[in-house]
Amino acid sequence: MKEFDRESLKEFNGKDGKPVYIAHQGRVIDVTASKFWKTGQHMKRHPSGTDLTTEIEAAPHGPEVLDRYPQVGVLKKKEESTRPMPQWLAGLLDRFPLLRRHPHPMVVHFPIVFSFSAVLFTFLYLITGYTPFETTALHCLGGGILFAPVAILTGYFTWWLNYLAKPMRAVAVKIRFSVLLLGFSILAFVYRVLNPEILVSLSGGSVLYLLLVFSLIPIVAVIGWFGATLTFPVEKN
Ligand code: HEM
Ligand code: HEM
């Protein structure tokens, strides 16, 4: 049976009338005849010409659908470019594979929601004058300060482990904006704690404080957007 490596498999991506091949657990399958693969991409998401062994785990069907189509070859085993790491960490990741990729996407929600909430409650205070909203905004700023470092650490970890710490524009932007996020949140928090009346009587200081707080939304949006371009690359057309 024909042997493919990852490079030669890429050719069979359905473009310009080429056949549509996909790989699953070492088998290369020809799905050219399927109406679900005729564009070379399945469900606007899964590219042909690649190994989709992991991706099918998230599908609403099992791998038995692959048996509807003929196997045309086998896929050579990947020469893994694995990241060298201490024995204890390799053991831990083998025992709990979930720790490989999940921690960052799991914890990022916390600084995102705390930052958005700090802005929302500040805004609510400004339009209603209801003091508890302002106190809640301060607490949300505090929550963001507690969780941003957790997101930053897990972000570095996932980049180091899964992207082999390769220099990437998206990560470079995220690192800079994460410093801004943490810096601005701490500045706003300390400023507000030292000046509890900062929003009661508006002054130049209040404007600075509001700018710091409101800037958290664009900062968090940039960090999240560049993160998501890595997990869900944007379709070109
Ligand atoms: C989240 C991802 C996925 C979704 C939402 C999805 C959805 C579907 C749906 C709705 C069908 C048609 C229903 C059926 O025939 O059972 C289908 C068929 C199929 N899917 Fe997927 N799928 C996904 C991922 C994958 C992956 C990763 C592979 C390849 C490893 C794959 C291979 C196939 C094949 C070969 C068929 C049969 C097509 C045919 O009978 O013509 N799917 N998929
Ligand atoms: C400076 C440290 C950071 C680094 C190096 C970093 C790196 C990364 C990497 C490599 C990914 C892709 C993950 C994957 O493919 O599984 C990612 C995703 C993501 N990151 Fe970060 N990140 C950092 C900080 C943050 C912070 C502070 C936030 C939130 C405020 C954040 C929000 C996100 C989001 C929303 C995603 C997309 C997750 C998904 O689609 O499920 N990141 N980040």
Chain segment 67-78, per-residue pLDDT in tens: 999 999 999 987
Among candidate residues 140, 236, 227, the one with its CA nearest the CA of residue 178: 227
Instruction: Identify the residue whose C-alpha is closest to ligand 2 atom 7.
Output: 155
Instruction: Identify the residue whose C-alpha is closest to ligand 2 atom 13.
Output: 231
In the chain, DSSP assigns E strands to: 2-4, 21-24, 27-30, 41-42, 46-47, 71-75
- The model carries a pTM of 0.76
Mean of pLDDT values over 109-126: 98
pLDDT of 54 over the 90 cut: no
pLDDT of 180 over the 70 cut: yes
Kind of pairing between the strands at 71-75 and 2-4 = parallel
**Residue 235: per-residue pLDDT:** 63
pLDDT of 23 over the 90 cut: yes
Kind of pairing between the strands at 46-47 and 41-42 = antiparallel
Q: What is the CA(16)–ligand 1 centre distance, in A?
A: 22
pLDDT of 237 over the 60 cut: no
Q: What is the CA(105)–ligand 2 centre distance, in A?
A: 7
Contacts of 43 (CB under 8 A, 6+ apart): 36
**Residue 1: per-residue pLDDT:** 83
Mean of pLDDT values over 157-184: 96
Ligand lying closest to the C-alpha of residue 169: 2
